[in-house]
A = this chain, B = another copy of it.
Amino acid sequence: MSEDSTREQRHHDRMQRKKEVIDAKIAAAQEERGILLVNTGNGKGKSSAAFGVVARALGHGHRVAVVQFVKSRSDTGEEGFFRKFPEQVRWHVCGEGFTWETQDSGRDTAAAQAAWAIARECLADPSVNLVVLDEMTYAFKYGWLDLAEVLAAIAARPRLQTVIVTGRGAPEALIEAADTVTEMGMLKHAFKIGVKAMPGVEY
């Protein structure tokens, strides 16, 4: 056997073993239900990853609700885009902007409570396949919402409904309750090297 074909054979054998391990894992994962995902950490991608899943869900004909707890601007690319599908998507911008902009915790709390009233409805609606609670974690950090009440509503949701919660500093009990948790770590950010937040990339 030539050196090349030996190498190819080794690659084949290694990949065959890897395939057996992965196939066994796939066979073991047979439960069908909606999941609770949490995208947290300081890096870019927490909300974008949620919006990517929105696109994916829409591609399967699903119905989606997005509730934005902090964002107050309504000129984002994602909102403009997903609003083209009013039959499938409900999009609620409920924030008052970052709390260092409002500098008024009473107003922030009222906004978060109003957002939660909408979110709670969506979490009780079996016709909604995916609920995105965007930047909700800040509501726990600043004490605008009661975490136990939110977790109870999430736990009581329809069995096939998937929920995504995004935002920095997800509280431990939320991570505990979640099925999939990604910590988006920032290794680098263009903003820090002087690049302006560009439309189509950052908003």
Contacts and interface: CB of A to CB of B under 8 A. Distances in A.
Interface of A: 8, 11-12, 15-16, 18-19, 22, 25-26, 28-35, 37, 39, 41, 43-45, 47-60, 62, 76-82, 99-106, 129-130, 162, 175, 178-191, 193-201, 203
**Identical copies in the complex:** 2
A57 B45 contact: no
A1 to B, nearest CB: 16
24 contacts: A8-B105, A8-B106, A12-B104, A15-B101, A19-B101, A26-B197, A28-B194, A29-B191, A29-B194, A33-B198, A41-B185, A44-B49, A44-B180, A45-B45, A48-B49, A49-B184, A56-B201, A59-B200, A60-B199, A62-B200, A129-B200, A180-B190, A183-B186, A185-B185
A137 to B, nearest CB: 14
Given A26-B197, A44-B180, A56-B201, 10 more contacts: A18-B100, A22-B100, A29-B195, A43-B182, A43-B184, A48-B48, A56-B200, A59-B80, A62-B200, A175-B187
